[in-house]
Chains A and B, each alone.
Chain A
Amino acid sequence: MSSSPTDVTEVARTMEIAMPQMGISVAEGTIVEWRKQPGDHVEADEPVCDVSTDKVDVEIPAPVAGRLARIVAQPGETVEVGAVLAELEVGGGSEPDHSRVYSPIVRRMAADNHIDLEQVEGHGVGGRVRKADLVAFLEEHRERPLHTESPYKPEPEEPPTLVSHRETSVDVLGPTRRETMSPMRKQIAAHMVESRHTAAHCTTVVEVDFGRIAARRAELRPRMADRGVNLTYLAFVAREVVAALEGHPILNASIDGEEIVHHSDVNLGIAVALEDGLIVPVIRQAQRLSLEGMAAAIGDLAARAREKRLQPDDVQGGTFTITNPGQFGAVLATPIINSPQVAILDLEAVVKRPVVIESGGEDSIAIRPMSYLCMSWDHRALDGAEAARFLGELREGLERGRTE
């Protein structure tokens, strides 16, 4: 710690006012009158007393600004040149009380941590509560170690899933091997359980004909590939999701206590499977992106996620999430909402299925590339009709092509 209040008061120092040299032949002077009394504030060069010599009468000015601490030479006393007339206290001592004046960072940290700043002792100038004082206070009053990235936030709660079942007999289980969860697994566990606990999960499913998208993809893909962009089904879905969200802002929202926070931007989270877990990088302001821009952004985030080159900012601030495990052939899932967001859309495998299509009033059976879009949504924020309307619009966009 750099300083205590003692250091600060030490900054105040005493300075002597001496009888000045007033001419070659003058060796002494007599104090006539003190114009300032101990405790008075004086400005630099302001006269503090009058001195009479055998030649002239002069005013003695203060050499610097300060507070007159003590008068040494009393009126009527005759003193030699160079003798001390009075003492002046300079700096520090008259420091105003700043113990309850707070800097922006101190206010913010206190609010974040629900700290009553009156309880925190300040060690800055004038008793100011410095950031360092608040950090020390938090350290003292928390049992948990402080979070490494942000020195004033406590570690997240341990995920409640990590209940030990050690009492289960090893004999019943047969040979086992125990491994500690990786930090990523622990974080996923905590986040998913927390979401399950707080959000009222419902899942709605629509079936979408990807025939048109498949054709468009085949048409556009070579050109985009020339420009280094891999055009996937996911990019089409992401683009249509962004468009459909515009008419259904309740799905581009998050829940904060009893408030619903609506977001102007669509910050689209894209779940990326990693070898040892899952990460959800975010495409910021996805509403600004064209189809190609979306494809490029997805490609970039996925690549950086796999190479572990994502920045902390890349995984924060999502407002809606898409997950896409369909590459493994699964056709249905009920994803867990990436809380505090309100909904998550699951894109499953596109598979060929026989479906009934209507053409010119005639029904017939055709083979079409079909997929289920499964959306889990938070019943606290919206109801089933709204979720179904959104999905219907999304299907319409994908099958008829609204946004290209």
Chain B
Amino acid sequence: MAELTYLEAISDGLRTEMRRDESVFCLGEDIGAFGGAFKVTAGFAEEFGPERVLDTPLAENAIVGAATGAAIEGMRPVCEMQFADFIACGFDQLVNVAAKLHYRQGQSVPLVVRLPSGGGFSGGPFHSQNPEAWFLQAPGLKVVAPATAADAKGLLASAIRDPNPVCFLEHKGLYRHVRDEVPEGEYTVPLGKARVAREGGELTVIAYGSAVPLALAAAEALEEDIEVLDLRSLCPLDTEAILASARKTGKVLIAHEATRACGVGAEVAALIGAEAFEDLDGPIRRLTAADVPIPFSPPLEQEVLPQLDDMKEACRELLAY
């Protein structure tokens, strides 16, 4: 075990899979000599050569389209978006082509799209989004969003080995701020399995990505009997773990940095309302970004994105309910 940052763990996971399997290759903008916008592929071009670390033009639809073709031919491409926001340009190939090939033709499309997501650094409306909900409405795609370095490595490896197209949301705010023990060598974390990040009996906070450390910090600060469930995968969703925790505590707060309307929180809340109603002891609440574009202005951005104080307040309110 070595202690790695979330960013190093993604790099390590990708490198390990490329060493393990010759069919794995990366493509994206400036990922070769430059090592990628966030340096995830730094040193990859030297180790694996330009054939497996492909610098592409600034054309996301071409990146995802080329990857889809390669995946059909038996390769396992890993696309890098410089920012998750830019996947909008590659949407058609991802949502209409890659996601539906298995349904239409029984054709597996084992590709991964890495999506550096999230705000908190005054990146403004085009470099700060959390677009996971877009993909959750495209059956055929899997969606994962790790919160720890170990999960970042393990889920990326599972995403690469999965026969379906997988959207891999890596939160930029976690890149260098999250650091934990990461198993060395080949390591996978199964898709679709949530993780109890903290056990508790009076309130469940269901979170993923950057909301997980926020929830854990709030629980520690409040010193309350709060359970934190890290979803890890958004599709497939670990409904069993969600319902078990909701039934145990009877009170649920769903937290994510993405905007509120029709988001993961809405889906999880509906599931709990439908399946665990009889065990509820309070309203199912959400803590999310406001339904607005992410502002550049630091104080405005803080107002829009969930902060630690918001998390503590939301927990306090539900515990008191």
Query: Which of B250, B277, B278 has the most chain A CB atoms inside 10 A of its CB?
Result: B250
Contacts of B279 in A (CB 8 A): 104-105, 108
Interface size class of B (residues with CB under 8 A): 10 to 19
CB-CB contacts below 8 Å: B181-209 with A: 202
The answer, among A3, A105, A108, A131, for a CB contact under 8 Å with B316, is: A3
CB contacts (< 8 Å) of A105 on chain B: these are: 250, 278-281
Q: Of residues 2 to 31 in A, which have CB atoms within 8 Å of B's CB atoms?
A: 2-3, 7-8
Q: Of A113-121, A122-130, A171-179, A319-327, which stretch is located at the interface? A: A122-130
Given contacts A103-B250, A131-B250, contact A3 B320 (CB under 8 A): yes
| B316 contacts across to A, CB distance below 8 A | 2-3
Q: Indicate if the CB atoms of B319 and A3 lie closer than 8 Å.
A: yes
Whether A2 contacts B319 in the complex (CB less than 8 A), given A103-B250, A105-B250, comes out as yes
The residues of B that contact A124 with a CB separation of less than 8 Å are: 282, 320-321
Judged by a CB distance under 8 angstroms, whether B310 is at the interface is no
B92 at the interface (CB under 8 A from A): no
Chain A, 125-139, contact with B by CB distance < 8 Å: what is the 0/1 string? 100101110000000
Selected from A8, A103, A132, the residue in CB contact (under 8 A) with B202 is: A132
The tally of residues in A whose CB lies under 8 Å from a CB in B reads: 15
Cα A108 to Cα B281 in complex, Å, equals 11
* Minimal Cβ-Cβ distance residue in B for A108: B278
Which residue, of B277, B282, B320, has the highest number of chain A Cβ atoms within 10 A?
Answer: B320
Contact present for A8 and B320 (CB under 8 Å): yes
Indicate if A106 sits at the interface (CB-CB under 8 A): yes
Cβ-defined contact, A131 with B281, below 8 A: yes
Q: Which of B213-272 contact A (CB under 8 A)?
A: 222, 224-225, 250
Given known A2-B224, A132-B202, contact A103–B320 (CB-CB < 8 A) = no
Given A124-B321, A130-B321, are A2 and B202 also a contact pair (CB < 8 Å)? yes
Which residues of B are found within 8 Å of A128, using beta-carbon distances?
A: 321
Question: Complex Cα distance A286/B282, Å?
Answer: 38
Q: Are A104 and B321 touching (Cβ within 8 A)?
A: no
Please determine whether A103 and B282 come into contact, CB atoms closer than 8 angstroms: yes
Cβ of A120 to closest chain B Cβ, rounded Å: 13
Closest to A7 in B: B320
- Bound-state CA distance A348–B243 (Å) is 43
CA–CA, A7 and B222, complex, Å: 14
Q: Determine the residue in chain A with the shortest Cβ distance to B283.
A: A103
Q: Report how far A104 CA is from B246 CA in the complex, Å.
A: 13
Residues of A with C-beta under 8 A to B320: 2-3, 7-8, 124-125
CB pair A104–B202 under 8 Å, yes or no, is no
| A residues less than 8 Å from B277 (CB atoms) | 104
- Do the beta carbons of B224 and A104 come within 8 Å of each other? no
Distance (Å) between the CB of A398 and the closest chain B CB? 39
Minimum distance in angstroms from A54 CB to a CB of chain B? 36
A72-109 vs B, Cβ < 8 Å mask (1 yes, 0 no): 00000000000000000000000000000001111010
Residue of A with least CB distance to B279:
A105
Instruction: Return chain A residues, CB-CB under 8 Å to B250.
Output: 103, 105, 131
Taking CB atoms, residues of chain B closer than 8 Å to A130 are 281-282, 321
Most-contacted residue by chain A among B202, B224, B280, B281 (CB, 10 A): B281
B contact residues around A132 at 8 Å (CB): 202, 281
How many Å lie between the Cα of A124 and that of B316 in the bound state?
11
Give complex CA distance A142, B86 in Å. Answer: 61
Question: How far is A374 from B250 in the complex, measured between Cα atoms in Å?
Answer: 46
**B317 contact set on A, CB distance < 8 A:** 125
Distance of A90 from chain B, by nearest CB (Å): 15
Top 9 A-B pairs, shortest CB-CB distance: A2-B319, A131-B281, A3-B320, A103-B281, A104-B278, A105-B250, A105-B281, A131-B250, A105-B279
Besides the known contacts A2-B319, A130-B281, A132-B281, 6 further A-B residue pairs in the complex with CB atoms under 8 A apart = A2-B316, A104-B281, A105-B250, A105-B278, A108-B278, A131-B281
25 contacts between A and B (CB under 8 A): A2-B316, A2-B319, A2-B320, A3-B316, A3-B319, A3-B320, A7-B320, A103-B250, A104-B278, A104-B279, A104-B280, A104-B281, A105-B278, A105-B279, A105-B280, A105-B281, A108-B278, A108-B279, A124-B320, A125-B317, A128-B321, A130-B281, A130-B282, A132-B202, A132-B281
Interface residues of A (CB under 8 A from B): 2-3, 7-8, 103-106, 108, 124-125, 128, 130-132
